[in-house]
Amino acid sequence: MNKLQQGTPAFRKANFALFAGGFITFSILYDVQPLMPIFSKEFHVSAATGSLTLSVTTFTLAVAMLITSSLSEAWGRKIIMAASLLLSSLLVIFTAFSSNFGSLLGFRVVQGVVLAGLPAIAMAYLGEEVEPKSLGVAMGIYISGNSIGGMAGRIITGAITDFFSWRIAMGSIGLISFILSIWFWRHLPNSKYFSPKPLKLKQLFTSLFRHLKDPALLCLYVIAFILMGSFVTLYNYIGFQLLNPPYNLSQTIVGWIFIVYLTGTFSSTWMGQLSDRLGQKNVLSMGLVMMISGAAITLASPLLVKIAGIALFTFGFFGSHSIASSWVGRRATSEKAQASSLYLFFYYSGSSLAGTTGGFFWTHFGWSGVIGFIVLLLLFAFPLTLRLAAIPAKMVQSK
């Protein structure tokens, strides 16, 4: 029985299905980001409180991902991924009918738990079912679905909200996602190389604790927190500034600013290749400098200059994230799935905690306060990067 190979109908079906799965997951996760100023006005809450619509979801996603991957070892890959997508799609539709901010947050909390089913398992499915020579292509297609979904979710909700309302926008995302979820369920090939294993949560937590005792991995986890925390903070509050004077942009235009995400498609590959020649420490430091420079440029008043700063910041983020996440894979010599899940836990925790904290700086100090907070976060990453480079390779093993 052959594994999925590039060029075969089964390979194409699997890739289209997982592209759709990534698209659904990240469009649902981030569809609220351009709507935060609207939530603040409609429900009479502060910017920081409005940002909780994303923060609570990324936090429960981070926690749930630590468990979901282990559940799939016992229950199977496809069934959990399909259930995750279908339930997430229905939850978005229910969220559109939220009567108050409390119910909106409640739906988003549950959304994070349910969404964890796909990102925690998709890479494991590909690693098992796709032949090694075709795995790079398959993984690239899946990850592109993630990035395009995150971008499209923001753009679609922004545009539909302008013409109708945020409720119709979220309902539309839910309907599109439900249709794509059916496609995923019907077309993703069943697992052929998966063997169920007994559920051993104790073993999971033991391995997680073991990784946390590795000083290099701990540095990488804190860097993940800093990177995602600063990234989400910038995008959470840029809409508040651009919707107000002197810019007075429409919700649609603000949503389209997220198209600069496409710079990440290039930077993650380019900086990954560059690290092979210049070293991971040097390229990660370069990415951090790009992020700080881009954030500082957004303090300029001209709109085009501000957008250029956002683009540079985004370029640096995706490149830095690719270096840090790949460094985790090289550092952990055993139980790599648990090491990666911890990286994602810190990554999304940064989104939740820093993303909401940024609202305090926006409320009290405006955009310059937000940028000051972001720059301060990123500066902490430099000594961690130097510490990483100083840790001897012989400490790599996780015992």
Domain spans of the chain, in order of start: 1-188, 200-390
In the prediction, which pLDDT does 329 show?
A: 66
Prediction pTM value: 0.85
8 Å CB contact between 47 and 362: yes
Q: Which residue has the tokens 């400098």?
A: 289
- Say if residue 222 is exposed, middle or buried (CB neighbours under 10 Å; 0-12, 13-18, 19+): middle
* Cα distance between residue 256 and residue 158, in whole Å: 8
In the prediction, which pLDDT does 92 show?
A: 96
* Cα distance between residue 259 and residue 275, in whole Å: 26
Which parts of the chain register pLDDT below 50?
A: 394-399
CATH number of 1-188: 1.20.1250.20
200-390: same fold as 1-188? Answer: yes
In the prediction, which pLDDT does 396 show?
A: 38
Tens-digit pLDDT profile for residues 151-190: 899 999 989 999 999 999 999 999 999 999 999 999 998 8
The dihedrals phi and psi of 214, each to the nearest 5 degrees, come to: -80, 115
User: Is cis: bond before 246, omega within 30 of 0?
Assistant: yes
Domain 200-390 has CATH 1.20.1250.20: yes
Write the Ramachandran bin of 8: left for phi over 0, alpha for psi from -120 to 50, otherwise beta: beta
4 SS3 class: strand
Query: What is the chain's alpha carbon radius of gyration, rounded to the nearest angstrom?
Result: 20
